């Protein structure tokens, strides 16, 4: 048990003075004298190797179809002739230089004109737009009134122009429908005709 008023002692024995904590570097572990007396600089390469991007077969296929290639042999010839590479999207992540005129981040929002806010300029602009809109609507209504009422659909047309009333016709037998009256009937024939 720990002694009263004293911290608990560690049960593990520490290694000897020749023990090195951490990772031992055989080539560079020279201590403070080496760190002060030697500057570890990376030598620049004479010609930096340009990163070769893979071929963009989607873009080459589109271009081949636009040129009129339809067969596999024509596609193979076109791929041998045209060499379209993928664009390097991570140009800055691989140590490339930023293009001239490139800025990072979002552009700042334009400052709010406080003078216009204090003078209620935005309210006045909105009111002018509403007045102009009502003027245009009034002119359009006048033109419609001059030219006549616009017939929107069949229902409004039938309300303004009702269909003529159909005369009520009584039902007749079919054999009597084609009977024609004589041209100059005699009084006896007229009596017979009206009686039937």
pLDDT of 177 above 70: no
Supply the range of the domain harboring residue 154.
Answer: 113-160
Separation between Cα atoms, residue 54 and residue 83, nearest integer Å:
10
Tokens for 195? 């009686």
How far is 149 from 135, CA to CA, in rounded Å? 20
- Report the candidate in 65, 90, 91 with the shortest Cα–Cα distance to residue 79: 65
Q: Tell me what pLDDT residue 64 has.
A: 92
The reply to whether 127 falls in a domain is: yes
Give the number of domains in the chain.
2
Is it the case that residue 149 has pLDDT exceeding 90?
Answer: no
Based on the domain organization, do 82 and 117 belong to the same domain?
Answer: no
Q: Look at residue 136 in the predicted model and tell me its pLDDT.
A: 92
Q: What is the pTM for the complete model shown? A: 0.26
In a domain? residue 196:
no
């Amino acid at each position: 048990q720990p002694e009263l008023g004293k911290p608990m002692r560690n049960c593990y024995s520490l290694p000897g003075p020749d023990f090195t904590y951490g990772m031992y570097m055989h080539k560079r572990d020279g201590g403070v004298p080496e760190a002060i007396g030697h500057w570890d600089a990376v030598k620049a390469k004479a010609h930096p190797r340009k990163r070769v991007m893979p071929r963009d077969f989607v873009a080459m296929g589109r271009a081949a179809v636009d040129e009129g290639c339809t067969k596999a042999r024509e596609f193979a010839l076109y791929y041998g002739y045209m060499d379209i590479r993928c664009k390097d999207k991570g140009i800055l992540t691989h140590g490339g230089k930023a293009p001239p005129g490139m800025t990072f981040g979002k552009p700042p929002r334009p400052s709010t004109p406080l003078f216009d806010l204090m003078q209620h300029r935005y309210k006045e602009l909105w009111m002018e737009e509403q007045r102009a809109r009502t003027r245009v609507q009034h002119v359009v209504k006048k033109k419609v009134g001059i030219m006549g009422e616009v017939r929107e659909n069949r229902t409004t047309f039938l309300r303004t122009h009702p269909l003529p009333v159909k005369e009520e016709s009584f039902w007749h037998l079919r054999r009597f429908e084609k009977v024609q009256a004589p041209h100059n009937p005699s009084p006896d024939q007229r009596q017979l005709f009206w009686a039937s």
